[in-house]
Structure 1
Amino acid sequence: MLFSITRIRAHSFAAVLLFFSPCVGELVRDVCDNQQEASPLSHVGTKNPYTPRQTAYDEPPASCRPIHVNLVSRHGSRYATKDKQVVRIKQVMQEAGDAGLWKLTQAASWFSDFPEDRWGRLAASGIAELENMGARMSGNFQKLFSSGNGSISVQATKKQRCQQSAEAFIRGLQADASRIKTDFDTCPLGTTPSWKHSQLRFFEDCEKYQRFKDGDAWQAELKNFENSFVNETCLSKVMQRIFGEIPTEEGKSRDLWLNFQNRSLEIVRVVYALCQTQASVSRTASEWCSVFNADDRDTITRLEYGEDLEMYYEKGVIEQPSHMACPLASDFLKTMSVAKDETIAEGGAIEFSRSIASLRFAHAETLMPFVHILEPLNGSLFTPLTAENYDASGQRLWRGQRLFPMACNVQMILYKCEAAPLYRVRTLLNEGEVSLNACHGEVYCDLGVVQSLLKNISCSEDAFVQKCGSRVAC
């Protein structure tokens, strides 16, 4: 079976170390420190607002200068993509209020971060994330972007938040508009996806993955965890804060309270989801996050672990689903090779490449499997997320909040050098320098090594169809 959870390898998401040995200790410290914080903002998963991992860098080798930047980024912080959670909680609020059970205030501001006319669009905080990232790239590679030479390719998926992210990034980059070539994919409904569409939304185009995702085989571990660790006892304090103590007298209020108790996981997960969105949009622990207090640290860390566990199996570590990211690997390989081959030299001095940047804006579902196939480690440095090892999860490296926040990104910068190796690649994860495992600790890695890696994990359009069974219509 192509997408079988039995194929999970014990080390698979040691790739969360991501092919990066130098920053493992730093990641562990961040995770441990954050795990000790009681604030819900320390546990908002992949809706965590973006901050760069690194802003100051050592100078590259004296003989090397950047000639091309490859980037794939998730969109920035956004408003909620669906209104289901808002509708659900409003229904609960109405029912509980009519029965005198709703104990929280119901100020209109509680829904101010969920405007109906902005579902899925970037929030002001998300626009700032991308503008600032673009400005940092421009500043870090000032000679490359201010030279007036070379074109900049910009791709974004059909989702408005991705196109908004691309536009915000370009504003921050402040590059000459005549050099920028945009390709905002639309993929009309009912049509076969284009190959460019599959390079960024391969998860949507792969039929076998869609069947796997919609099935229930991968959900068994999540259900085991929830049954063992996220039960009524765990959620009782939050439920009492929302609905008060159980009414002692028989009647509709008591029956409704018991009904809510039976739905406690559903209700608290909705509150947690609204808290996550507010944290992303406003960057503060506002109304929905205030439902959780210091006494609920254990509860909210369990909710976060449940989400990480779900992503771990559904989108990350399982061997074959992650391989569907091969079109993106192919695009990185192609653009890097083209940039090298099209480098223009005058008088023996390297001036520029005809293509100086390839910028892509997509989704968390794009980044997770791509990160995985870049370079799984060959050891067992990482313990897989399971229902049974939750108690040891405080030091886990697979944590969505740290690895895949809003605007998470991977960059590969190609350098031309005067000394061998003549072409080198520097890789950044969320703007922090990392070393590909194949590079043996070298930050400025031989291009040939990186090309070999990308070639091994890339695919042609025909190979993608064979891998996925068929392409799903948009």
Structure 2
Amino acid sequence: MAAPRTPLPLVLLLVSAALLAAAPLSPAAETGAAAFDVRRHLSTVTRYDVARGSNSVSSAPSMSDECRVIHLNLVARHGTRAPTKKRIKELDRLAVRLKALIDEAKQGPESDSLKKIPSWMKGWESPWKGRVKGGELVSEGEEELYNLAIRVKERFQGLFDEEYHPDVYSIRATQVPRASASAVAFGLGLLSGKGKLGPVKNRAFSVLSESRASDICLRFFDSCETYKEKKGA
């Protein structure tokens, strides 16, 4: 009887636009009390590079020398994006409100409160003023997912030696543009050096998406009524 075949390594990347926490793969250990980092308090989800330096993320458990990794499932959030149209409008309204408050303070009697106004507030305008579109993946977000793929390869050395095939390296993303762009950035890092395209020997690879109406895995928050009911409770 023939010996059983060794299972092929399977890599499944699910890039979702859902608000999934970005768990780093190799956080740097910090000594002493962590200094306050304002970047960890500016959005609903901390950026990849900022989260990697946090000591609040536990490292992966050690693995026995008798074991080897043959399969990897990875669910990752998209990288850093530009503000959405809704946020751009909010920033424009914030600029108008700040200007009104400063003008009001200037018209009153001179006081210490006027002197305490930070200089950056005077004449501040949103960096995205005039933009009518938003939400796209920015260059920092591309680098985050590319570097995430590099760290994955470093941690699971030997798992990606198998020749590329879309059934082996299954990469999926939602139909949200920033999510599919993040999947492409991840794939470029994961498969760099495995092709013949350009000086860095890139290769083409597939990224699959389902329609928003039928995507019950990555967009469960849209299709699962039980989730909606519990979230709204």
Compute the TM-score of the two structures, normalised by the length of structure 1: 0.32
Deviations 1:24-47 (A, max 9, x none): xx9xx98x934xx44423534643
2:136 corresponds to: 121
Pair 199,66 (structure 1): closer, same or farther in 2 beyond 3 Å: same
In structure 2, which of residues 210, 219, 222 is the aligned counterpart of residue 204 of structure 1?
Answer: 222
CA-CA distance at 1:48 after TM superposition: 1.9
Find the residue that maps to 1:66 and give its secondary structure: coil
The answer to whether structure 1 residue 50 and structure 2 residue 48 are counterparts is yes
Please give the alpha-carbon distance, in whole angstroms, between the structure 1 residues aligned to 2:159 and 2:204.
Answer: 12
Higher relative contact order (CA 8 A, sep 6+): 1
| Structural RMSD (CA) | 3.8
1:171 corresponds to: 188
In structure 2, which of residues 65, 73, 76 is the aligned counterpart of residue 73 of structure 1?
Answer: 76
Please give the alpha-carbon distance, in whole angstroms, between the structure 2 residues aligned to 1:152 and 1:94.
Answer: 52
1:33 corresponds to: 33
Pair 114,208 (structure 1): closer, same or farther in 2 beyond 3 Å: farther
Find the residue that maps to 2:73 and give its secondary structure: strand
Q: Which amino acid aligns with 2:81?
A: R
Deviations 1:314-370 (A, max 9, x none): xxxxxxxxxxxxxxxxxxxxxxxxxxxxxxxxxxxxxxxxxxxxxxxxxxxxxxxxx
Find the residue that maps to 2:69 and give its secondary structure: strand
Deviations 1:214-236 (A, max 9, x none): x5xx5xxxxxxxxxxxxxxxxxx
CA-CA distance at 1:206 after TM superposition: 2.5
| 1:78–1:121 Cα contact (<8 Å) kept | yes
The answer to whether structure 1 residue 90 and structure 2 residue 95 are counterparts is yes
Pairing of 1:83-232 with structure 2 (within 5 A): 83-100=88-105, 103-104=117-118, 105-106=120-121, 111-112=126-127, 116=131, 119-148=134-163, 150=165, 151-174=168-191, 176=194, 180-187=205-212, 193-194=213-214, 197-210=215-228, 213=231, 215=232
Find the residue that maps to 1:47 and give its secondary structure: coil
Deviations 1:126-161 (A, max 9, x none): 211110011112233342213316521111112112
Deviations 1:84-132 (A, max 9, x none): 4213302313433443468454577752267726621222222111100
Query: Which structure 2 segments of 5+ residues have no match?
Result: 1-26, 107-113, 196-202
Deviations 1:349-405 (A, max 9, x none): xxxxxxxxxxxxxxxxxxxxxxxxxxxxxxxxxxxxxxxxxxxxxxxxxxxxxxxxx
Query: Which structure 1 segments of 5+ residues have no match?
Result: 1-25, 188-192, 219-474
| 1:78–1:123 Cα contact (<8 Å) kept | yes
| 2:221–2:228 Cα contact (<8 Å) kept | yes
Please give the alpha-carbon distance, in whole angstroms, between the structure 1 residues aligned to 2:123 and 2:209.
Answer: 36
Pairing of 1:321-336 with structure 2 (within 5 A): none
Please give the alpha-carbon distance, in whole angstroms, between the structure 1 residues aligned to 2:145 and 2:153.
Answer: 12
| 2:92–2:129 Cα contact (<8 Å) kept | no
Pair 133,117 (structure 1): closer, same or farther in 2 beyond 3 Å: farther
Compute the TM-score of the two structures, normalised by the length of structure 2: 0.59
| 1:157–1:200 Cα contact (<8 Å) kept | yes
In structure 1, which of residues 56, 64, 82 is the aligned counterpart of residue 67 of structure 2?
Answer: 64
Deviations 1:39-73 (A, max 9, x none): 42353464322144589986x43443322210101
Find the residue that maps to 2:146 and give its secondary structure: helix
Please give the alpha-carbon distance, in whole angstroms, between the structure 1 residues aligned to 2:130 and 2:70.
Answer: 43
Pairing of 1:259-274 with structure 2 (within 5 A): none
Please give the alpha-carbon distance, in whole angstroms, between the structure 2 residues aligned to 1:88 and 1:47.
Answer: 23
Pair 57,88 (structure 1): closer, same or farther in 2 beyond 3 Å: same
Pairing of 1:426-437 with structure 2 (within 5 A): none
Please give the alpha-carbon distance, in whole angstroms, between the structure 2 residues aligned to 1:98 and 1:174.
Answer: 55
